[in-house]
Structure 1
Amino acid sequence: MLSGTERKNIEAGLAVAIVLKQDQRSGKLTHGIVKDILTKAPVHTHGIKVRLTTGEVGRVKEIETEDF
């Protein structure tokens, strides 16, 4: 499974699960498609910050794969 802490693993159009700022304590995941990558650094320990196509912003916790 690819890591959400490395920028090289994330690109626009990718299905991911993120944690929104208000959900950091609970760890509730929000699923969506990456629109923009907001973190400039190649690695971030808490996850790369992205904007989803819905406009929601959060840190990537899981990169979803199509093989079920």
Structure 2
Amino acid sequence: MHPGLEVEVILKKDQRSGKLTHGIVATLLTSAAFHSRGIKVKLEDGQVGRVANVIELQ
């Protein structure tokens, strides 16, 4: 996980619904390499959420 990576995150307000938000990682907020609920990141647009999926370029 690193800045610049394209990801889908679950925002705090969307935890119940599981709605995914697409964005680019600006900053890692979780210091550990693994977290049971997902690594917390700040997206380039300022939103904060836990990574659900990493988007891989084909």
User: TM-score scaled to structure 1, two decimals?
Assistant: 0.83
Matched, 1:66 2:41: no
More strand by share: 2
Residues matched between the structures, number: 58
Aligned residue for 1:62, secondary structure, equals strand
Percent identity of paired positions between Structure 1 and Structure 2: 53
Per the alignment, residue 45 of structure 2 pairs with 54
Q: What is the correspondence of 1:23-62 to structure 2 with a 5 Å cutoff? A: 23-62=14-53
1:9-68, Cα deviation, whole Å (9 max, x unpaired):
x1000000000000000000000000000001221011000000000000000000111x
Give 5+ residue unaligned stretches, structure 2: none
Q: What is the correspondence of 1:3-42 to structure 2 with a 5 Å cutoff? A: 10-42=1-33
User: TM-score scaled to structure 2, two decimals?
Assistant: 0.97
Post-superposition, which runs of at least 4 consecutive aligned residues in structure 1 deviate over 4 A? Answer: none
CA-based RMSD: 0.5
